[in-house]
Amino acid sequence: MPKPYEIRATFDRENITVYQAFNKKIAEEAIKHQTFQSPFSTNRMTWIKPSFLWMMERSNWGQKSNQEHILAIQLKRTIFENILSQGILTSPSKRVYKSGIEWQTQFKDAKIYLQWDPERSFRGNKLEYRSIQIGISRHLIEEYVKEWIVSIQDMTPVVKKMHQLSKKGDHTKAKKHLPIEKAYSLKDEIKKVIGAS
């Protein structure tokens, strides 16, 4: 059983994969240029998710409006960990903050937002442990677009295939296409900041 608050992701020695879902136009431009271009907005917060199945829950397997295209975005692990170290939770967790006032003070100046949500099973059921999502504020989106992204892969065809197999009841075949995710080791100081187990 995974720990209650633990990052699980697809990663290698250099990079980690996070997921986002967009409409066709934004996705096509991102794949073409290997970063985000107009009509992607750098004036609003954007959320990245290391958990593939949480992204599937959020986008309903690419069926929700404006979330039809699933992108796998590779970031350098050093950058990913730096992002986490700047993060502020979206609620005043006693695991991290001494008081609500301490959290409120940090939250009003936050540039990176962190939220732990129940992880999902392949069929969308809530699990006992949680998955993190990371909100990049408009103050850092230019950096995200210009400096953080290593590569962008279109996961939409695989997602559609898995969804079709699942609708037919062939969950075993569908699961074979899942990305392999494992626990992501973090330094103790980052664990403390993000409220990890």
pLDDT of residue 187: 97
Residue 194 lies in a domain: no
The secondary structure element, H or E, covering residue 194 is helix 188-194
DSSP letter at 110 equals: -
For CA atoms 75, 81, 85, 88, the dihedral sign is positive
Overall number of domains in the chain:
1
Q: What is the DSSP string of 24-93?
A: HHHHHHHHHHTS--TTS-SSS-EEEBS-HHHHHHHHTTTTSTT--EEEEEEEEHHHHHHHHHTEEESS--
Distance CA 23, CA 97 (A): 37
Q: Which domain holds residue 22?
A: 8-180
pLDDT of residue 86: 97
Residue 74 lies in a domain: yes
Whether the CB-CB separation of 36 and 27 falls below 8 Å is answered with no
Residue 197 lies in a domain: no
Residue 191 lies in a domain: no
pLDDT of residue 1: 83
Residue 192 lies in a domain: no
Residue 73 lies in a domain: yes
Residue 103 lies in a domain: yes
Q: What is the pTM of this model?
A: 0.96
Residue 190 lies in a domain: no
Residue among 45, 55, 62 at smallest CA distance from 17:
55
Distance CA 83, CA 89 (A): 13
Give me the tens of pLDDT residue by residue for the chain, a chain 197 residues long: 899 999 999 999 999 999 999 999 999 999 999 999 999 999 999 999 999 999 999 999 999 999 999 999 999 999 999 999 999 999 999 999 999 999 999 999 999 999 999 999 999 999 999 999 999 999 999 999 999 999 999 999 999 999 999 999 999 999 999 999 999 999 999 999 999 99
